[in-house]
Structure 1
Amino acid sequence: MNSILRHGVEWRRLLQAGVVGISAAVVVKVCCQPELPESWRQRRTFTVVPADTKVFDAQNKALQMVANAAGLALHDLQRVVRSNWCGLELIAEVIAAAPENDKRSLAEQMAQRARRQNLLPQADDVQNAVASSRPRPETRRTYGVDVGGDAPLYLASGHEVSDINAALEQLRDEGLVILSAEAQHEEVRKALRLPGLGRPVREVPSREILALGCSAPLEPSAGRRHFLLRGTDFAEQVVVPLLAPIMPLCYRYFSENRPDASPGSFLNDGNGHSCSRLYLSECQLLVSDPGAVNQMWHCDAWLTGEDKCEGLTVILPLTEVDDELGPTNLLPGSHLFAGFNLGATMKGLKALAAAGGSVAPTPLRPGQALIYDARLMHRGLANSSYNRCRVVVVMRLDMLDTPPPGATVFQTAMIRALGVLLQGLSSVYKVLPIPNLRTA
C-alpha cells in the first residue's frame, strides 16, 4: 500500500509538472522569443585555450605549498591526487588567488582538512594508498562501480576554459555546455583504426575494439554498441587524459553542488569525517551504426525531493556529428525538474523556451566536448544515414555515495513519459507564430 501511495504521489507530481509546462508555454513564447539554432549553439560554446603562464606557475607553487604542509614530496602528492580524484588542484587555484600573506596558512589548513577526511595519506603510506586504487578491467557486473584508475592532472595540461565563470553559469542554468579545443584525439582514432579527419567512418568492426581489452559490447537499443573501456590500458593512457582540460569546470560544478564532498569539503570543512569524492563511473566507446533507432528519453540520474547534481556526462565525438548521424537530443533546463520545486521548474522551462524546445547541438567535431548534468533529459537520435557511423566516447563522473543507476525502473518510466510530453510540447512550441525571431 505504501508503495502504491508513493507511486501515486510521484505521478501526481509528474502531472503537475506537465500542466505547469503546458500552461506556461504560450506565455513564455510571447515574453521570451527563442534563438536560432546556430545562434543558440554559438552562445553556449566555450573555447579551451593555453593557460596564462604566470597564473599557471602560481597554481603549481600553491600545490607545492600543500605538499609541504602535508609533509609529502610534490611527486607523491600528485600521485595521490591522481589516484583518488579529490580535486586538490582546484584548491591550489584558490590558494594561488589568495593574498600573499594568507597563502601558507591556507595551504596548511587545506592539507589538514584533506587528511581529516582521509583523502591524504601519511608519507610512509603513499605507496599503499596509490596501489589500492589500481584499475581492474570493467565488466557488466562492475558497471557503475569504482574500478580504480587515475584522474587527469589538469594543471599539468596547461590549459583553461576561456570564460570559465560564464561556462559554469551556463551549465548551472541550462544543464549543458560545449567546450571546443584544438585537440583532435589522433591517438584514439589511430588505436581504433579510424580513417583520417574529414573522411566518413563506414564501419567499425567490433574485433578492432575488443582487441583493446574491453568486454563484449552492450546493445541496449537496436543499432548501438556500447563498449565498456574502464580499466583497460587504452582508457587509462589514451582516453581518460582527454578529460584534463575540462576538469576545472567539472570540479567547480561539483564543489558548488556538493559542498559536503571533495573538493568542496576542503573549503567548507564538512564534519571532519571521511567524505565522498568523485570517480569515473563510466567510460564507453559508443558506435551508432547506420539504421540505429531513437533511444527513449531518459536521465542518467534522478533525485526526487532534492536539487543537487549527482553526476556529469561528457561526450567526446571521434567523428563529425551532424543531424543525419543521430546526435544527442537534449531538453535544456530539465535537470531543474528533479527536485519538483516550482521555482526551479519554471526556471528550467524558461531555459527550454530560450532554446526553442529540445535541441541537438550539431555539428560537433573531434576536439569538442558536450558536457551535461546527469539529471538532464536526453536521448540519442536515430542514425538515418546509409553508410556512416557515429563514434563517440562517453564518460561520466559521479560521487561515491551516489553511484549509478540514478533512477529506479518506475522513475525511468516517469522520465520517459515526461520526456515524450515535453518533446510534444516542444514541437507545438516551435510552430507557434512569433513576430520577430531573435538572431543574436
Structure 2
Amino acid sequence: MDTKAEQYYPSYTFKPENRDVVLLEFEEAQKIANSQTKVYGQVTNILLAVITVLIPLFFSQEKETNQTFNIIKENALFFSTIIFLFGALLLRYFVDLQKQITINGRKLVTLRTMLGLDYGHIHLTLPNWRVEGATNPFTIKYFNGWLMFQSMPFWVLTIGVNAIWWLTTKDRNVHSISINDTPLFTISWLTGNVIITITYLLVFRRNLNDTHETSFLNIGRFIASLMRFKLVENFEYTIYRAKLEVFEMSRLNVNFENLKSILIDIEDKCFYTNKGVSIKALLRGAISQIKYLKKVFHLIESGGSTITMQLARTLFIPSNQNKYIRKIFEIWIAIWLNRKFTKQEILNLYIVSVRYDYAVMGLSKAIKHFYGNINKKILTPEESFVLVERLSNVTGTHKQERINYLINKSTVELDLSKINRIYQTLKEQKKIK
C-alpha cells in the first residue's frame, strides 16, 4: 500500500479536491463522539446517584418507609426480578453507546490520517492509545479493561442490584414464587447474587467483543496473562494486517492455487476435515522428536501442528517462549480460528503470513525473493513445491534428502527436473544455502 491511509481503507480514493468534504465528515464525527461521551458520563453519574440514594432507604427507621419495604421483602423475588431485568436492559444500552463511541473514535483517527496529520511514533504528550493521539484506529477498543471508566456502568449496576437483592432477601434463607401455596421454584440469596453477577458480566463483556473476538478467545487470553505467557496485544489489528495482505495478492493478480493444493497435500492432508487440531498429527510430531522412533517410522522432525495451528503461532504467539506452553495456546487459538473463519480464509491468511525463509515473511516477499516479478504471477506446481519446502524448512538450508522425502509424500504430479533446476538457480543466486 502506497500511503498510510490505504492501510486502513484498501479501496481508498481520497483526492485533494475532496478535502473540504473530508473535513466536514471529520468535524461531524468529532461532534458525535464528543456528545456521546458526555451522555455516557452523565447517565453513569445519574445511575450512581440513584443507587447511592436507593440503598440507604433499606436501612431507614421511618415507619412508612419500613412498611413499604416490608411489602417489597414479602415479594422479594418478584421485585428483584424486575430490578434485575431493568438493570440488564440499562447495561445493554451502555454497551451500544460504548460501541458507537468507539466506532466514531476509529473514524476520527482514520480521517485524521487521510487528511495528512501524523503525530509520529514518539508520543511524549499525547497517548497513542487514546483518540486524541492515536495514529492507528485499532488502538481504540470497544473494551479497555475492567478498571477503566468505560466499565463503570457494569460495576455500578452489578454492585447496586446485588446489594438490593441481598437487602430484600437477607432475612430469609430461600425465596420462591408459588401458586396456591405450591412453590413453582425456589432460589437462595447467594444463588441470586451469582446469577445477577454472571448475567451482567455476559451482557456487558460479550457484547463489547470486537469483530473477531469471542468469549472462548478471551478466556484463553486471560489464562495466558495469569501464566505470564505472551500473546500479541492487539488481535484485531493483527488479523486486519493479514487480511490486507490477502487483498494485496488479489490486487496484484497473483495466482497461488497450486500453492494451496500442494501445501495441504504436504503439510496437512486433513485440513478440510479437522477442527483446527489433529490428534494424529500431534502424536506423529511427538514420535518424530524421538530419534529411534523417527528412524523406525521414517519421519522428519516436526511439531505436529496443523496449518491452522501454524497460523496461530505465526500471527499471535511471539517466539522464544516455553515450547510446551506455546503448544497449548497454539491449540486453543487454532480452535478459535477454526470456529471464526472459513477454511479458505484460514488458508489465505496462512499463505500470506508465514515465514518462507530467514527474514522472508509472507507470500509477497517470498515471490519477490525467490522468483523476482510478482505482478500477475502464476505459481507453477514446481515453484509452489519449493515455497512449501522452504516454509517448513526450519534450518533454511538445501537438503536433497528432505526434498526427495516431500516429493514422495506428495500426491500432486511434479516434474523433478524442473524442481532441481529451480533449486540450482536459487543456489547460484545465493538465495538459499
TM-score range, shorter chain: under 0.3
Structure with larger RCO (C-alpha < 8 A, sep 6+): 1
Max Rg structure? 2
TM-score by length of 1: 0.24
In terms of fraction of residues, the more strand-rich structure is 1
In terms of fraction of residues, the more helix-rich structure is 2
TM-score by length of 2: 0.24
